[in-house]
Each structure stands twice: as C-alpha cells, then as structure tokens.
Chain A
Amino acid sequence: MQPDSAMFIFLNALIVNNFVLASFLGICPFLGVSGRLNTAWSMGMATSLVMIISSVCAYFINELLVAMDLEFLRLICYIAVIASTVQLVEMAMKKFSPALFRALGIFLPLITTNCAILGLALFQTFRDYSFTQSLAYSLGAGGGFTLAIMLMAGLRERLALANVPSVSQGAAMSLMLGGVLSLAFMGFAGLGG
C-alpha cells in the first residue's frame, strides 16, 4: 500500500497507530467516559461525527487561510469554527432528530474542545492531506477512538465486578489497561507496509 493512499491513512489511524493508543489523542474521554459500554458507544459515535465535521471544516479553513496568507490565525480559527459548527449541528440535531440528540447530545459540548478533535485538524494540516485523505483520516480516527474506548469500556465493566485491590482502583488501573491495550495494538505494526 502507498503511504499516501486513503486506505493506508484510514487503517493507520484505526489500528496500526491507533489514534488513542499510539498517537495519544483523546486520552481524557478514553479514561473518563469508558466506565460503561453504552455511554462509551455514544461517546464514540458523537466523537466520530464531530471528527468528520471538523475535518471538513478544517480543510476548507486552511485552504482559505493559505490563500489569504493568514496561516498564523490557523489555531484560533480552527478552534472557533469547530466549536461553532458543532453548536450548529447540535441545534440541528435537536430539531430534526430528537432521538439522536438524546443519545449523543450531552456529549457534543464535552467533545468540542478536546484534543482529539483539534489534534485531528492539526495533524491533517501538518501532513498536507488532501480532501479525500483528510476524510479517510477522520474516519480512521473516529473509528480508532470508538474501538479503543469500547474495548476499554468492556474491560472496565468486567473489572467493576472484580476484587480489584484498593490501591489499583481508579485512574491507575485504567492507565495500566490502556498500556496493555497499547502493547497489544503493537501487533499491528507494519500492517499494510
């Protein structure tokens, strides 16, 4: 596979260099919202949605800024545009699909300003991705985030019923789980090469 093919970019963000476990983006929700499977799923879906939106937004803002020689405003614009777009999506969702809103709505504001989203936008800019590449990247990242948080939630739901020593309860345990997951994902190294 060519390293700039959309498929490679997708697989890379999904498993080979998993967005969370190898690239370290979106760690806070990965640790914080992974207690239950169903919330993790909603979080994953909401994040994927916002990722696709912000990837597209970021692509066009960047084109615009480059054209106008205003690259130094990139960061400020990204964060502002992403935040407001998500707000709009939230409003639209509330109006047109209340069921979806109930499932994902509360997660949207939480997500807007987390580093998974901005990180996606920044990385795609740093790597000069084209529109298709950006889209593939955002899909891979969203999928990778959902995959990681679902695996984590499954494990943590199981461990909720275990006799975990008091010392290792809480964040320490989640980090160690993340570490072992990250070790396991090293098995995908070189996939597609």
Chain B
Amino acid sequence: MSEAMQVKKALAPASSFKLVRTLGIVATLSGVLVVSVYDFTQPFIAANKDAMMAKAVFEVVPGVVIRKNFVLTPDGLVPDNGKADGAKVLAGYDAEGKLKGIAAEAAAPGYADVIRLLYGYDPECQCITGINVLQSTETPGLGDKIYKDAAFLANFEALDARLNAKGDALAHPIVTVKHGTKASPWQIDAISGATVSSKAVGKALNDSAQTLLPRLANEWEKLR
C-alpha cells in the first residue's frame, strides 16, 4: 500500500492535510477492494490456469496425469520455486509417477507475428510427441492450419529428435520441407499455401530442441 500512497502524494504537490487525508481514504478504500477481490478470485484463476496448462500438456505429452515444473538454470535442472532463472521445463508423469515426457515452450516469427507453441518430448523414443500452439495471429484459412490441420499435426506425433553421438546437438536438425516431399522422420511436411507458417513451426522446434535437449541429456534422472 505504501507505494500507492507516495504516488498519490506526488500527484498532488500542494499537499495540505485534507488532500492527503482524502487521498488516503480513497487509496485505502481501493486497496481494500482490490485486495479482497484479488483474494476472492485467486483460487478460481489458479484453477483456470491449471486446467489450461493440463489440457495443453496433455495434448503434447499424451497420458500425463501429474505435472511438475522445473527450471533449467546454468547449474542444472531445479524445481520451479518462482525464483530461479532459466528455461521452464514441465515434466509429465502418469498415474504411477512414471515419467511420460517433458513439455517446453518454443517460439519463432511466423507470417503475422511470433508463433509460440508448447511441444512434448519423450526421452524413451527420443522424439517430439506433439505440439500445441499457444499464441498465433496467423491468417485464418492459411496460417491457422498449423493448429487446425490434422495432417500437419500428424507430423509431430513422433518427430525424430535424437541427439548425435557427441550429445551436443540433434543428430538431424528438424526441418520443414515442401509439401509432399517428407522423406525422413525428422522432417516436417509443410502445408501447401502456408509455407511460411509451417517453416516457423519447424524453426521454433529446431531452435528450442537444439539448445534444450543436449543440456537435458544428463538430467533425466532428476526428472524420473
């Protein structure tokens, strides 16, 4: 509350006692209102957020029941306590607590604006298991096929993301290829007419996987 008071003082330089008192009353009133609404809504909001996340993660890592949040700091993977800095990694487990896979965010500029997506990765098969577009303003009818077109989404059911022998990069970079020319499991078949958006998805995945997966290589035990 204290900042709010100071701020209001700054707004009214001619601060006689009455001015300060009125402002104080109003500020207190607002504060009380805001805080009570905040307290009241917080559980609902948290539940909403959780449900949304659960749905998103379930889509990219099928079979997830329990989720845990981690952060990949320079010193390694640590549980997310809200303070650590680094890339967020969501680990998903089935009901028995067995690791089903992880989910992470990726982004790249698409046709209209940045496309943000969540993708799942399964350490067992060393492949990407699904994507969920979190944010996109791609053109309806063209670019929006990256989350509406079933054929395109099928690319990500088991997209090869193996590490190379040295373990410092993907064995095969993930690339988007022209529609109808997909030949290898690490390639993404572009949507005809929305090559730009398709390529953005490929780029986002490749950028994220190339940096994240090598660093996770030694961390899987912590997740299990």
Q: Taking beta carbons and an 8 Å cutoff, which residues of A are in contact with B?
A: 1-4, 8, 12, 16-17, 61, 64-65, 70, 72-73, 76-77, 80-81, 83-84, 87, 189-190, 192-193
Contact = CB atoms under 8 A, between A and B. Distances in A.
A47 B108 CA distance: 30
Contacts, number: 59
B19 interface: no
Contact residue range for chain B? 20 to 34
A73 B108 contact: no
Contacts of B35: 72
Q: Can you list the 10 inter-chain pairs with the closest CB atoms, starting with the nearest?
A: A193-B109, A80-B7, A84-B10, A3-B114, A72-B38, A190-B111, A3-B107, A3-B109, A72-B34, A17-B113
Nearest to A192: B109
A51 to B, nearest CB: 20
A2 B114 CA distance: 10
B192 interface: no
Contact of A70 (B3, B8, B111): B3
Nearest to A80: B7
Interface in B106-121: 107-114
Nearest to A85: B10
Nearest to A3: B114
Nearest to A2: B207
Interface centre among A16, A17, A80, A193 (most CB of B within 10 A): A193
Contact of B4 (A8, A73, A190): A73
B11 A80 contact: yes
A193 B34 CA distance: 41
A64 B1 CA distance: 13
Nearest to B11: A84
B196 interface: yes
Nearest to A91: B13
